[in-house]
Homo-oligomer: A and B are copies of this chain.
Amino acid sequence: MEIKSYKKDAFYSYTLGAFPTLELILNHKESLLKILVHSSFKNEEVLAKIQEVSSICDIQINDKLISKLASKENCYIIGIFKKYEMKLNQNKDHIVLAQPMNMGNFGTIIRSALGFNIHDIAIISPCIDIFDPKVLRASMGSFFSTNIQIFPSFEAYQKMYPNRKTHSFMLQATKTLQNHTFQKEIPTSLIFGNESSGLDLSYLNEDSLIIEHEKSIDSLNLPNAVSIALYEFYKQKRS
């Protein structure tokens, strides 16, 4: 198998760096194809963990291929894996992202979500390529502990995961996150629109929430808004 720089239609993707590669090994061993190690990499602890999977995947010292895949970045370990399918957990809380378009933002959201104990993210297409190495890098390896499932429409998501409390975050909402008390007993979905246009008015209802802020800015940046909502939700769930 010849490994080329990532393309959306490839059946594989790869992690850049030791930390995300260890997360890949820890959570998705079954999808490992190959691990590339740079000849100058000497961290014994990491090498030992990589060695543990030598029976199920090829481990190769290949500086040339690393430099090709990592392009400009300093990178000493690359984990190549087969893309896999994920399903959300019906009984857990979800984030729903409608048409996310920025890979760095999406990776950052995955990281915050995991920090606040959300392991399930629904995406309404069209959207970024969730397996792009840029997403994996921005998620700092959190990608591999998260279930991500893409739906053609919000209705399709609701049909597959019914009977949930849903809160759409919208500038048009009248209830504020600051004054809201979440119901703890029922699985909840927190819904966010994309970077430029937010959610359309079909998402607006009596459970919609706005993160109250000064009029001097139009809106918060998407990962910041999602992180704030997750913080408040997590805080209430644990209190």
List the interface of chain A (C-beta within 8 A of B). Answer: 108, 111-112, 114-117, 140, 142, 145, 178, 211, 213-214, 216-218, 220-221, 223-225, 227-228, 231-232, 234-235, 238-239
Contact = CB atoms under 8 A, between A and B. Distances in A.
A234 B228 CA distance: 12
A228 B228 CA distance: 5
A138 to B, nearest CB: 8
Contacts of A221: 108, 111-112, 223, 227
Nearest to A113: B217
Given A224-B223, A228-B231, A216 B115 contact: yes
A170 to B, nearest CB: 16
Nearest to A239: B178
A115 B223 CA distance: 15
Dominant secondary structure of chain A at its interface with chain B: helix
Nearest to A119: B216
A111 to B, nearest CB: 6
A142 B223 CA distance: 18
Given A214-B117, A231-B231, A223 B223 contact: yes
Contacts of A211: 231
A234 B217 CA distance: 15
A238 B177 CA distance: 14
A114 B214 contact: yes
Which of A116, A145, A225, A231 lies at the interface centre, i.e. has the most chain B CB atoms within 10 A of its CB?
A: A231
Nearest to A108: B221
9 contacts: A108-B221, A112-B221, A115-B216, A115-B217, A142-B217, A178-B238, A224-B224, A227-B227, A231-B232
Given A114-B216, A224-B227, 15 more contacts: A111-B217, A112-B220, A112-B224, A114-B214, A115-B217, A140-B217, A140-B218, A178-B239, A211-B231, A220-B227, A221-B227, A223-B224, A224-B224, A227-B228, A228-B228
